[in-house]
Structure 1
Amino acid sequence: MMTITPQPAQPQEWINHLGGSPVTAFGVGQRSPVIMGHFSYPERPHEFIAPPVGSHYLSVTLAGSLFVERKLDGKKVQGDFRPGTCLLMPANSSNAWRWSEPTEEFQLFIDPDFLCGIARREGIGEGMLDDSFAFVDETIWHFAQMMQSEARNTPLAEGLWVESCARLLAVHLLRHYSVRSDVPRRLGGLTGHQLSKLQSFAQERLHEPLTLEDLSAVLDLSPFHFARQFKKETGKSPHRWLVDLRIARARMLLTNTAMTVFEIATSVGFQSQSRFGVVFKAHTGMTPMAYRQRHFL
């Protein structure tokens, strides 16, 4: 029997299929290469199949704490999503989903031809994005926060304004998440699957005092071999990477919850509020309270 491949859906059709409703959205209903905005979704606890979407898709969780399971071209991944957690899905991928709680998402849909044009002009690969799931990227998070703030406070122009903003983020995606045929993977380095598995493990246990042995055991490697390969692949030591994750989570909690600084410190794995304050200021240049006052949504 012949298998019929479903036609790729337009972004708005795909959003409707997932049960989304716009809070603020730009480019919807126009023949725009870019659609982005803030969308709310009800919980979807049972797996459902969505049609492929004809655009590259980026989502950043804005509110909620939920478990997400996704099948992409038959491959299943799972992870916990909190404010600031991202996922990236290449265009025209078959996809199935379920998630545990209602959620608020910043979403960006980019037409593949538009992205290829940016890649050619900037000299960044061939304009193909890689699949990434349950990752934290502070540049993307700050962009989503900025767009959310602008949508609340100013009447936003459409068209060229939307494309200009999206172009900046597209360059970032191409530099960090593109399939680069001109940059071969370093021999002996960790694979993308291993890094994704490691990140999911760490994100679920940031409240714990994780050790090098804990991290290396996830990938069934010796601590020495793991630390060397991790540094080769990411440019960071495992300790620095873990501290970065803790501070990224703390930033999100400071700007999106009413938790006390002490509660946030312990929830991201610091044994004392004073130690948390020292490390946080070293990363951001501000105390936790000063950061909250400047960025609280």
Structure 2
Amino acid sequence: MSSTSIRADVLRFKIEPSREPERKFHSSQVLVQILEPVSLRYGTRLSSLTTYDYSAGEIVLCPRHTEKWVMGSTPGRLLMVTIPDQALVHAAGEYAHGDISLDATERLEDPRVGQLVRMLSEEEQGIFQADRLFTESVTQALAALLIRTRGTSRNFQPVPSGGLAPAQLRRVVDYMRAHLDRELSLAELAEEAKLSPPYFGQMFLRSTGQTPHRFLLGLRIDRAKEMLRAPWVRMMDVSLACGFKTQQHFSRTFRIFCSLSPRAYRNQVLN
């Protein structure tokens, strides 16, 4: 199992008006989401820059291995998402044979991409405390979506239908249950099924109707319910044993699944 990261890198930055353009060169695949209205000038030739007026929420899919000159005409805040090569390699391996690249565009109009970028942004801001499996799953979903919709490979091969074999699914679920007290990665679970991470994620969804992350949360909550039936077990111990980083994260997730707090659930069961 490779230790190479398949989690996207998220960076917020501010652009100011400038008189001289700045050279940009991305060796990795980069998306830029506009966080507030801004006017940018950029192009591949310093002598002929084009002006683009953007609204908040719009996304630019930047070209890889291409020199660009960029300057701001107005101030604005931007969000840059860098997709690691390993995520693209895994996704491309399931959808195409041979080399594959993405067709860059100044305006990427796909609400699905916007939703995935927003999830990565919220995780980066700490709006919700996601674990490694969540971040990797979103990154892989984003890589697979971009390859399906913007990939330029001519050797496209659809993903076969079906799901995990019963033995594969049993191994993965058993592994999840045996390691509920710690953080799990998508690659780690995929290894149990002997599949690549993006393909595993799709096959798991077809088999269970849930993403690996959502399914794992359900198992964590089931374990928590069992432990909460014992009045002598401290809430903090329940949280840690079920793989939650903090009691706040545990309580918030428990409410989502059960519509009441862990303490209220314990009182209800014991009374």
TM-score, normalization: structure 1?
Answer: 0.44
Which protein shows a greater Rg?
A: 2
TM-score, normalisation: structure 2: 0.48
